[in-house]
């Protein structure tokens, strides 16, 4: 739920970044300069984690809808797996960002 909320809050910022990247070469260059700042990279890393966690959790819920992993022990293990997989994917993709 937190990842979905973070994505919802970040959506206007992401759309604004898309607009600046498409407007002109000058605004694209300015956007690149802003995104080169470590704080901006950290924010993007947080948004990346939110997306990946939301995606992995969605796959987990699809599996639960198909009656896979509905027992309590399996559900707990899959929720931990979602967190671990999303963090690993964030680290791998975040290495490219940084």
Q: What does pTM read for this prediction?
A: 0.88
Place of tokens 């948004």: 47
Q: Would you state the pLDDT for residue 23?
A: 97
Over range 71-98, report the average pLDDT.
95
**All domains of the chain, ordered by start, with CATH?**
2-97 (1.20.1300.10)
Q: How far is CA 4 from the centre of its chain?
A: 9
pLDDT, tens only, 12-34: 999 999 999 999 999 999 999 99
The rounded distance, in Å, linking the Cα atoms of 64 and 96 is 32
């Amino acid at each position: 739920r937190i990842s979905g909320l973070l994505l919802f809050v970040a959506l206007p910022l992401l759309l604004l970044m898309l607009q600046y990247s498409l407007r002109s070469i000058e605004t694209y260059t300015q956007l690149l300069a802003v995104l080169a700042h470590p704080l901006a990279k950290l924010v993007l890393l947080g948004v990346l984690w939110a997306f990946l966690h939301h995606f992995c959790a969605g796959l987990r819920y699809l599996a639960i809808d198909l009656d896979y992993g509905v027992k309590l022990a399996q559900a707990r293990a899959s929720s931990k797996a979602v967190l671990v997989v999303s963090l690993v994917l964030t680290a791998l993709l975040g290495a490219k960002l940084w």
